[in-house]
């Protein structure tokens, strides 16, 4: 798994799952023990330290639920609930056309889109970077800035405020990397 994939998988998992989800135990263990920093490809040590200091899953549950869960949540995590976002069927059709296996859960969730970026990176299709570019430009970037800004504004815990900042910086760095690689490899 490369650096791009690691970033997307960590960010996607933290947004897509409840903090007390058993599948996140290894990730929160890495965070609490300060071991994620050595594997993190970006210079974000200060933000990772802040995440580490505020990474008790049980203490984060109420904030996660208030932010992202239910029809009256503070920050809808679905692209379709933002004016600039695509509809769920549009997102699902794009991801399905790329061969990504999806569950019945909405495909336009911010966390799912980040996990999709990791999945696309891990695939070896010839048009992998074109698919990633389309994912970022059409399905993620138009609305994720507003989404992350609201997360920062509405989070009651330092963890989710910090995660929003870290995510914004990481998404920009990954997009810049995609732009650079697309300029290096002109269309055949």
Residue 124 scores a pLDDT above 80? no
pLDDT score of 159 more than 50 = yes
Q: Tell whether the model's pLDDT for residue 113 goes beyond 90.
A: yes
pLDDT in tens, 40-99: 878 888 888 999 999 999 899 999 999 999 989 999 999 999 999 999 999 999 999 998
- Percentage of the chain beyond pLDDT 70 is 94
Closest CA to 84 of 135, 134, 131, 147: 147
Question: Are residues 109 and 103 in contact, defined by beta-carbon separation less than 8 angstroms?
Answer: no
Report the C-alpha gap between 7 and 118 in whole angstroms: 8
Picking from 142, 72, 134, the residue whose alpha carbon sits closest to that of residue 110 is 142
Tens digit of pLDDT for each residue in 20-40? 999 999 999 999 998 888 878
pTM for the model = 0.92
Pure H helices in the chain: 3-16, 25-32, 45-53, 57-68, 88-97, 110-122, 128-134, 141-154, 158-184
Burial of 173 (0-12, 13-18, 19+ CB in 10 A): middle
Q: Which residues of 134-146 are buried (b: 16+ CB within 10 A; e: fewer)?
A: ebbeebbebbbee
- Answer whether 187's CB lies under 8 Å from 145's CB: no
- Residues 97-124, mean pLDDT to the nearest whole number: 91
Give the domains, in start order, of the chain with CATH numbers: 1-182 (1.10.3480.10)
């Amino acid at each position: 798994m490369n650096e791009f994939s690691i970033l997307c998988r960590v960010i996607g998992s933290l947004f897509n799952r409840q903090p007390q989800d058993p599948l996140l135990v290894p990730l929160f263990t890495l965070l609490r023990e300060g071991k994620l920093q050595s594997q993190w490809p970006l210079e974000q040590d200060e933000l990772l330290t802040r995440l580490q200091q505020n990474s008790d899953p049980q203490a984060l549950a109420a904030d996660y639920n208030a932010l992202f869960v239910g029809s009256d949540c503070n920050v809808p995590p679905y692209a379709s609930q933002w004016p600039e976002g695509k509809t769920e069927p549009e997102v699902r059709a794009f991801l399905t056309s790329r061969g990504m296996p999806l569950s019945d859960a909405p495909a336009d969730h911010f966390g799912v889109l980040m996990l999709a970026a990791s999945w696309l990176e891990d695939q070896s299709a010839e048009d992998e970077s074109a698919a990633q570019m389309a994912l970022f430009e059409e399905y993620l970037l138009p609305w994720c800035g507003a989404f992350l800004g609201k997360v920062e504004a509405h989070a009651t815990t330092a963890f989710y405020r910090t995660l929003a900042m870290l995510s914004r910086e990481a998404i920009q760095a990954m997009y810049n990397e995609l732009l650079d690689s697309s300029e290096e490899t002109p269309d055949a």
